[in-house]
Structure 1
Amino acid sequence: MYKDILSMNNIQLNVGHMDKEEAIRYTGQILVNQGYVEPSYIEKMLERERVTSTYMGNFVAIPHGVEESKKEVVASGISVVTVPSGVDFDGNTVKILIGIAGKGDEHLEILSQIAIVLSEMENIEKLISTSSKEEVINLFNEVN
């Protein structure tokens, strides 16, 4: 069964205030709910965050599991969550969270596509301000 890496159900826009752990859990829960990962993957995302921050700069964090969590990935997918009020990631403000689950080595390709989209501040500003899931899909259309 083929699953889109990013679908409308994987996107949550204009989410209210939350702390870093809640934000990571929220991002991971979308991946669980849509059948991309086993529920235990969320704990692996939090473990990754304890090892090294997934804050990437430009208001973006990309939570993902540790290397050993690959066995908990059912299908490659991403979740996109925007928090316009911001989430404190150890002194850095995150307004866009992109949860990643990659089957095998697919996460590297997914990451490179996301990096291309997020390398332009204009795209980041669009993501933060949009209320359209279609616009998010269009911005990330290279990932699918």
Structure 2
Amino acid sequence: MSHSILTEETVLLNADAKNKEEAIRLAGQLLVDQGCVEPSYIERMLEREQSLTTYIGNSVAIPHGTEEGKKNILRSGISILQIPGGVDFGDGQTAKILIGIAGKGDEHMEILSKIALVCAEEESVDKMVHAQSKEELLSLFDEVN
């Protein structure tokens, strides 16, 4: 996976979020800070979550914007939030890894499929949850081609 999309600057370890809205805002802010999206994209991420949960199982949620939010994307980017304490995503689902996605154009599906491959393995997710460094966490994505 291209490191221009996923960098140490867009990874936050040991994050603490009181609820899923706060967690999604943190994931979105990492994308804003790296110049991937306009601040308004965070609102599109929250809208998406209200209409359809982005929790995909295995303690992972992949918040991303609505179709309308695509115009707020400046360039593709991914943010990763490690929340060891977990955050409630409703229906008894607890996310410990949030992967914020902003895909420009057709890159969106390619990004999602690579993330899905990593997150399908419970062992990989467990390694992400317990990663002690950003390098350790990012190395799990290096193995996906």
TM-score with structure 1 setting the length: 0.94
Q: What secondary structure sits across from 1:43 in the alignment?
A: helix
SS of residue in 2 equivalent to 1:131: coil
Please give the alpha-carbon distance, in whole angstroms, between the structure 2 residues aligned to 1:3 and 1:126: 19
Does residue 56 of structure 1 match 2:87? no
Instruction: State the one-letter code of the partner of 2:107.
Output: E
User: What are structure 1's unaligned runs of at least 5 residues?
Assistant: none
Q: Which residue of 2 aligns with 1:67?
A: 67
Runs of 4 or more consecutive aligned structure 1 residues displaced over 6 Å after TM superposition: none
In the TM superposition, residue 16 of structure 1 has moved relative to its aligned partner by 2.1
* Fraction of identical pairs, as percent: 59
Quote the offset at 1:18 in angstroms.
Answer: 2.0
CA 1:74 to 1:86, structure 2 compared with 1: closer, same or farther past 3 Å?
same
- Pairwise CA distance, 1:141: 2.1
* Contact 1:44/1:66 (8 A) holds in 2: yes
Deviates more, 1:131-140 or 1:46-55: 131-140
The correspondence of residues 88-127 of structure 1 with structure 2, limited to 5 A, is: 88-90=88-90, 91-127=92-128
Query: Matched residue pairs, number?
Result: 143
Q: Give the SS at the match of 2:64.
A: coil
Residues 56 and 132 from structure 1, CA distance in 2 versus in 1: closer, same or farther, beyond 3 angstroms?
Answer: same
Gaps of 5+ in 2: none
Contact 2:73 2:103 in 1 (8 A): yes
1:1-144 alignment, distance < 5 Å: 4-90=4-90, 91-141=92-142
TM-align CA RMSD: 1.6
User: If the length of structure 2 is used for normalisation, what is the TM-score?
Assistant: 0.94
Q: Is 37-46 or 85-94 further displaced after alignment? A: 85-94
Aligned mates of 1:122, 1:34 — CA distance in 2: 29
